Structure 1
């Protein structure tokens, strides 16, 4: 049966380098990882997980906590995390926090300990001080995707800036009667993303001297169906005469496009529509959007947590602001009536 020394010899590296390559050490070059992986496959070498755990005190298992699995953003971030962890030879344990407070508490008092995770990534879940303390006492690195968590490293987009950018795009095209399809009260999660995006929209409008009445806000639930219903209400009222809609997510923006078409309106000639996300279907609908590349965010989150694991002693918490990009397509155009 082949051993690590045989793998190292075939790959042309030292046994310690071969071991680090197979264990996903971030400082080993991609070329070396490839050669070692090919050598291991050729020789039929399989690393012993129990031996690795005994030698390192780690289990090659990362916990991921999120509020939804079925929604596009969360599923796409999760796919990015999973893909990168698999490349590094790590398993993933998934915890869904959409249940009761008792279910959430059991994750920290039972599941995280029983499943022996090496670190934790949270997605749009703000850990309480007591939950974070449990992880710190266990020496588990934590990365929060989606918003600030005092005492933990974070990876997030500027939600306020993304909403302001989307609104400024419409304003630059001469639109002033711009409705907001934003998150409803039930959509408010730990980082209050709907409220933050609402604030970005209001500031952009205020910067252009536009007073926004409450009647210009149409709440929805971040789904296509919710966006459709909200847009139909907004565009059906002749007293409002909106020339543009800003939807706080691409799914709601896609629903708005469908609603406008069902009302016999042309997009963008009669109404311009912009969203936020960079959804997989946004290109199909020609949707102008502020893209945030959630799959790449997930991959970067995995990289950051693996770097934290390889760093030895606990490093100071970092705040990584993920870049966003305005992608202009065919659902927005100049307001010819301006």
Structure 2
């Protein structure tokens, strides 16, 4: 598929199609949009893509994310942007808008049309077609926030962050510990929730405190989901009520704290609560958490793909740092 086929489909000359595909200012915006739409429909891949990547002539990195209005996403995006600006590169943002969003726009127009030199993906689940298009594009690619198939990942060890929370609580004497996790509704990677759940379960087993099936609740990785999950877990009267709850995100943990207060329970006297992330709201409200730094992760990802777009060889990426931050929402059990 080439420029001739696009020219025939649009009724334009090959020269006009060529100028439109390059986005030259001498072509009307409506014509550029028409040509690019037809090129997308026909699956056009410019023959100069490999040469453009080798020379780095675009000096732009595409960032594809499922939604833009989440704490982790905003922080990581800020880190990517800061690093790209320092390197003299532009950031081309593709917000998929959650489930059912326009993924075609990102995975065909960004990669196969050679608008960018590299890609950073934020916590995405890729289907077979998208993985194939990534391979065809041969663009340097790094994922932030959870593994995605065989792509390199910048992020914390999700088993380890859950284990840190468990070690803190069991060290305080807790044995009846519940877990709030679940798959995110916004289209984020499914790997992170399951890895953190597995890390929690395995750490509890190592501590000699296996977890009952009814101690797992779905918090949908949101504040509202945490409130709902906390209500289910904590409405059980003592002594069957858990003495502590590990949440796979700070937003869910803050929701569990709200649920506890609504039930007349005091945190941490009646129930201890921990989260994961390092959200600034958690700091204000005294939430114990396993903190990570998504802004630093964004910087690492951007730096990595820029260097590779300039010719550096791909290399392994070690796990990002995570640390336990003890605040007011955890204490030893009172029963």
TM-score, with length taken from structure 1: 0.76
Provide the secondary structure at the position in 2 that maps to 1:267.
coil
Provide the secondary structure at the position in 2 that maps to 1:264.
coil
Range with bigger deviation, 191-200 or 324-333: 191-200
Q: Distance in 2 between matches of 1:198 and 1:119?
A: 32
1:164-221 deviation line (CA, Å, top 9, x unaligned):
2111211110011111111148578434221111111111111122232211111111
Kept in 1, the 8 Å contact 2:308–2:314? The answer is no
- Give the match for residue 322 of structure 1: 320
**Relative to structure 1, is the Cα distance of residues 150 and 223 closer, same or farther in structure 2, using a 3 angstrom cutoff?**
closer
Structure 2 gaps of 5+ residues are 1-51
Provide the secondary structure at the position in 1 that maps to 2:231.
helix
**Relative to structure 1, is the Cα distance of residues 202 and 297 closer, same or farther in structure 2, using a 3 angstrom cutoff?**
same
**Relative to structure 1, is the Cα distance of residues 185 and 153 closer, same or farther in structure 2, using a 3 angstrom cutoff?**
closer
Kept in 1, the 8 Å contact 2:66–2:187? The answer is no
- Give the match for residue 17 of structure 1: none
Structure 1 gaps of 5+ residues are 1-52
Q: Distance in 2 between matches of 1:151 and 1:194?
A: 18
Q: Distance in 1 between matches of 2:172 and 2:253?
A: 18
Q: Distance in 2 between matches of 1:92 and 1:130?
A: 24
**Residue 91 (str. 1) matches residue 90 (str. 2):** yes
Q: Quote the offset at 1:300 in angstroms.
A: 1.7
Q: Distance in 2 between matches of 1:144 and 1:185?
A: 17
Kept in 2, the 8 Å contact 1:152–1:317? The answer is no
Provide the secondary structure at the position in 2 that maps to 1:232.
helix
Q: Distance in 2 between matches of 1:54 and 1:215?
A: 52
Q: What count of residue pairs does the alignment treat as equivalent?
A: 282
Q: Distance in 2 between matches of 1:175 and 1:238?
A: 17
Alignment map for 1:70-149 (pairs within 5 Å): 70-97=69-96, 98-100=98-100, 103-114=102-113, 116-127=115-126, 131-149=130-148
- Give the match for residue 45 of structure 1: none
Kept in 1, the 8 Å contact 2:111–2:137? The answer is no
- Give the match for residue 276 of structure 1: 276
Q: Distance in 2 between matches of 1:178 and 1:100?
A: 36
Kept in 2, the 8 Å contact 1:152–1:318? The answer is no
**Relative to structure 1, is the Cα distance of residues 60 and 185 closer, same or farther in structure 2, using a 3 angstrom cutoff?**
closer
Q: Quote the offset at 1:324 in angstroms.
A: 0.7
Provide the secondary structure at the position in 1 that maps to 2:143.
strand
- Give the match for residue 287 of structure 2: 287
Q: Quote the offset at 1:268 in angstroms.
A: 1.1
Kept in 2, the 8 Å contact 1:151–1:317? The answer is no
Q: Distance in 2 between matches of 1:272 and 1:83?
A: 37
Q: Quote the offset at 1:111 in angstroms.
A: 3.4
- Give the match for residue 47 of structure 1: none
Alignment map for 1:1-338 (pairs within 5 Å): 56-97=55-96, 98-100=98-100, 103-114=102-113, 116-127=115-126, 131-149=130-148, 152-184=151-183, 186=185, 189-238=188-237, 240-310=240-310, 312=311, 315-337=313-335
Provide the secondary structure at the position in 2 that maps to 1:227.
helix
Provide the secondary structure at the position in 2 that maps to 1:321.
coil
Q: Distance in 2 between matches of 1:265 and 1:151?
A: 45
Q: Quote the offset at 1:99 in angstroms.
A: 4.5
**Relative to structure 1, is the Cα distance of residues 99 and 271 closer, same or farther in structure 2, using a 3 angstrom cutoff?**
closer
Kept in 1, the 8 Å contact 2:112–2:133? The answer is no
TM-score, with length taken from structure 2: 0.76
Kept in 1, the 8 Å contact 2:290–2:323? The answer is yes
Q: Distance in 2 between matches of 1:208 and 1:71?
A: 34
RMSD across aligned positions (CA): 2.5
Range with bigger deviation, 264-273 or 124-133: 124-133
1:218-244 deviation line (CA, Å, top 9, x unaligned):
111111111112112211111522211
